[in-house]
Amino acid sequence: MSVATSSRKASFDVVIIGAGFTGLYQLWSLRRLGLRVLAVDAASGVGGTWYWNCYPGARTDSPSNIYQYWFSDELLDEWNWTQRYAGQAESERYFNHVADRFELRKDIRLNTRVESAVWNEDASQWTLTTDQGDALEARFVVTALGPLSAPVVPPFVGHESFAGRMVHTARWPREGIDLKGKRVGVIGTGATGIQVIQSIAPEVAHLSVFQRTANYAVPMSNPSYGDAERAAIRAKYPQTREAIWTTFVGFDEQGETRPYFSIPVEERRAILERLWSDGSLRIWVAGFMEIFFDQAASDEISEFVREKIRVRIRDPKVAAKLVPQDHGFGTRRVPLENGYFEAYNRPNVDLIDLRETPIERITPKGILTSAGEIELDVIVLATGFDAGTGGLTGIDIRGRDGRSLRQEWKREVRTTMGLQIHGYPNLFTTSAPYAPAAAFCNAPTCLQHQVQWITDCIDHLVKNQRRVIEPAAETEQKWLAHHDELAAMTLVAKTKSWYTGARGYEGFEVA
């Protein structure tokens, strides 16, 4: 059945919010059930994360052979990845190809931000309003907002006074910014900051990096792919497809199964060296599980990584600041890097350790720390996202009896398996908090898994003429207790990061 995508008031079986990785697959999957489906996205193009994050150096950290869809053999056969780790432009091209290849665009409304979603109990349906004046009625709503889609601008004093240019990495202008010859400050040294810093250091006049927490990072090995490499990768697709559903976090390799301390120390070291030299995240997610649970193993593996970092930085004082000491390797999201640590050997790059000299305010000329003012032309905010929750609380979602998700989540974030929320019937969420592997996963694997579950669930409801599905309060409570019991066993839960929602400040703006 075709869907009119231009009318202001329209009715659908399902409205999907978001046309990124998840939204496109969800649209393809639900349309195959013969349902009337519309996907809506605030962006002017498809691709989600890979549309918005066009900052210098943006690139995936999961290899292209597992950062892709598995639903179509034709797609797997015809799409030619050019590198092990695809850059932003290549990833964005892939999503545009998928949208064209499967004729998804006719059911996608771009440049349209959903502002509210209100459940109508009598009609058992949702009404969504958009910034374009649409009123979209839908029996089911699927949010495909991505875990990292609400960029956070910390509440720096004097923010508005800056006379130069200030930009958040996730709102980088698509036409780019000419940084040549400029004095640039980057705040934040997470996966994004690392990519920006290593990319722009050679071209800017001066780079000041404002670091609050030092991060571990693994050197990326990123060979180009020609026909021979692609043929070899394609030949392994049946095994890869099988593996990603069964490994620890949706990568294609399982880690060491022997207990860490049962392995002789020289052999442990040799295994770590082998994993390290792979130039991938294997040392994190396909190495030793003990890094997530066992303090002694974490200490030893962390020290191995610290040694690798230290030797790359010429000035021992700078090295001491760049080597993480306050958390174990892998307890925060580990980024891959390309010359990140060497950037600090350049004469035009300074590291400002905010633990020693905190930012006091933004000034018209730059950034004032407790050690003095640093003059800048451009400030890059690589300050991360309101992870997991920000996409959903950015919409005024009203469930049963007018309850507000935004208000409820200010008190306590709750979901049932990250897929539904008590009090919000027929609302399905993806990449939401408390999913079994919402954040701690090769995102494409877990998101495809969630889409498949939602598709099967909606199919079941439609076939069995059940109008409404909603988790019971007790089910949700049991799930949360189970989740917390498992999470509490890990070192990840004891570490501040976006995984645990720790931001280090209250009150922020979404860019």
Q: Given the rule CB under 6 A, which residues bind ligand NAP?
A: 59-61, 148, 154, 187-193, 195, 210, 212-213, 333, 354, 382-384, 498, 504-505
Residue with Cβ nearer ligand NAP (26 or 62): 62
Distance CA 511, CA 503 (A): 16
Give min distance, CB of 355 to ligand NAP, in A. 9
Let me know: does 128 contact 141? Beta carbons within 8 Å: yes
Give min distance, CB of 281 to ligand NAP, in A. 9
Residue with Cβ nearer ligand NAP (213 or 348): 213
Indicate the angle between helix axes 237-244 and 227-235, nearest 10 degrees. 60
Residue with Cβ nearer ligand NAP (388 or 399): 388
How many DSSP H helices and E strands does the chain contain? 15, 20
Q: How far lies 409's CA from each of 393, 405, 406, 433, 472, in Å?
A: 8, 6, 5, 11, 17
Residue with Cβ nearer ligand NAP (384 or 444): 384
Give min distance, CB of 470 to ligand NAP, in A. 30
Give min distance, CB of 70 to ligand NAP, in A. 19
Sign for the CA dihedral angle at 314, 315, 317, 321 comes to negative
Residue with Cβ nearer ligand NAP (139 or 282): 282
Distance CA 136, CA 128 (A): 5
Residue with tokens 């329209």: 10
Residue with Cβ nearer ligand NAP (23 or 388): 388
Give min distance, CB of 396 to ligand NAP, in A. 25
Residue with Cβ nearer ligand NAP (127 or 189): 189
Residue 224, C-beta contacts closer than 8 angstroms, at least 6 positions apart:
82, 83
Give min distance, CB of 390 to ligand NAP, in A. 12
Residue with Cβ nearer ligand NAP (332 or 414): 332
Give min distance, CB of 139 to ligand NAP, in A. 33
Let me know: does 216 contact 305? Beta carbons within 8 Å: yes
Let me know: does 62 contact 333? Beta carbons within 8 Å: no
Residue with Cβ nearer ligand NAP (41 or 61): 61
Distance CA 455, CA 450 (A): 9
Give min distance, CB of 137 to ligand NAP, in A. 34
Helices (H), ranges, 168-226: 191-200
Residue number with the shortest CB distance to ligand NAP?
Answer: 190
Q: What are phi and psi of 148, to 5 degrees?
A: -130, 70
Burial pattern 160-191, b for ≥16 Cβ within 10 A else e, equals: eebebebebbbebeeeebebeebbbbbbbbbb
Residue in 471, 455, 474 with CA at minimum distance from that of residue 417: 471
Residue 375 exposed, middle or buried by CB count within 10 Å (0-12, 13-18, 19+): middle
Residue with Cβ nearer ligand NAP (368 or 469): 368
Distance CA 69, CA 67 (A): 7
Residue with Cβ nearer ligand NAP (200 or 462): 200
Give min distance, CB of 59 to ligand NAP, in A. 5
Residue 231, C-beta contacts closer than 8 angstroms, at least 6 positions apart:
none
Backbone conformation region of residue 307, classed left if phi is above 0, alpha if psi is from -120 to 50, else beta:
alpha
Distance CA 108, CA 150 (A): 21
Give min distance, CB of 239 to ligand NAP, in A. 24
Give min distance, CB of 289 to ligand NAP, in A. 20
